[in-house]
Amino acid sequence: MNEHVSSLYVRAHELLNLGMDGSPIYSDHFARLNREVYEQALDLYNTLEGNTPEEEAELCLSILVALNATFYDNGRKQQYIQRLLDRCLNVLDKLPDSLLKVRLLTCCYGEVYEEKLAAEAHSIINTWDMASLTPEQKEIIGELKNMEENQYPFEIID
């Protein structure tokens, strides 16, 4: 299971960051990657649950990231996301403070913008040694900051 979950997370992350390095985005590659990520997310959603809180958190996180990265929607995408958020809320209290927990809190915050989620993520981040952050820690700190500063990225606010 971990191999499929990790693969989905990596591919969804690739899709979210496509072209960010200045390389061109080819429509055929973009469409194929979107379809593959969406189908893989639905396959995992429909067939798996984690055996441990960490596995469940990784699974939910990967599927949420994948659904957010894709433009496909079979008409039930928001239902899937809501069920995943419910699963996340059930597992968050069982997770130790970790990068995985911060990622899951940040992803959930990006869906509902509930300040409690961001505050908990910040309380974990504040325990990290800022002088020796890993690239993954730096990335999630940036994602959380971006979400907090841009809560309405698709709306024009006067």
Tens of pLDDT, residue by residue over 28-49, are 999 999 999 999 999 999 877 8
- Token readout for 91 is 């597992």
The parent domain of residue 56 ranges over 1-94
Residues with Cβ within 8 Å of residue 85, at least 6 apart in sequence: 64, 108, 111, 112
Residue 111 and residue 69 share a domain:
no
Model confidence pLDDT, tens digit, residues 90-122? 999 999 999 999 999 999 999 999 999 999 999
* CATH number, domain containing residue 84: 1.25.40.810
**Rounded-to-integer distance, Cα 35 and Cα 70, Å:** 8
- Predicted TM-score (pTM) of this structure: 0.86
Residue 78 and residue 2 share a domain:
yes
Per-residue confidence (pLDDT) for residue 126, from 0 to 100: 97
Single residue among 70, 94, 118 that ends a domain in this structure: 94
Q: Is residue 109 part of a domain?
A: yes
Is residue 158 pLDDT above 60, yes or no?
no
Q: Is residue 157 part of a domain?
A: no
Residue 87 and residue 56 share a domain:
yes
Residue 59 and residue 40 share a domain:
yes
